[in-house]
Amino acid sequence: MTVGILIGSDSDWVKVSGAANALEEFGVCYELNVMSAHRTPDLVKRYAETALSRGISVLICAAGGAAHLAGVVASHTVLPVIGIPVQTDFCGGLDSLLSTVQMPGDIPVATVGIGSGGARNAGLLAIQILALNDENLKQKLLLFRKNLVQKIDDKNTKLKKEIEQNKIKTEN
């Protein structure tokens, strides 16, 4: 199973590479392409229409501004599409978020948040979708979630110790 990642501009890569990093952590293969819904519409259409037959199972599309890439891709495939709204100088990415999330009925795009957390969540959401039909991947996800609980518990313990130590220092 493979994930297709499409970005509207090569400059978007830095902002959305967290999606690829999440996929790599779980051993999920992906391919990356730069395509524009407006500047290369025929290329986007051909990519989306052939993705399933080429072994792609989930598509992640990132774009800023008008951010139509995810919606255009979704209109040409039955595969799940996850949209990452890319932060922009104009409106801080709110324009991208609204363009991605406000799809008309019947052509869904799952949309994650703006910023690095959103990009990472796009990768993790793709993994969750793939894990529906992959027991090994599901087990990796369960372990990941278990480790998250321990990670937060460790941070809680560490913070409490630091606060207590600082409290003792300030009292002296």
CA-nearest of 121, 112, 108 to 83 is 112
pLDDT tens per residue across all 172 residues of the chain? 699 999 999 999 999 999 999 999 999 999 999 999 999 999 999 999 999 999 999 999 999 888 899 999 999 999 999 999 999 888 888 999 998 999 999 999 999 999 999 999 999 999 999 999 999 999 999 999 999 999 999 999 999 988 888 877 767 6
Classify residue 105 as exposed, middle or buried by CB count within 10 Å of its CB (0-12, 13-18, 19+): exposed
Domains assigned to the chain: 2-133 (3.40.50.1970)
- Rounded to two decimals, the pTM is 0.90
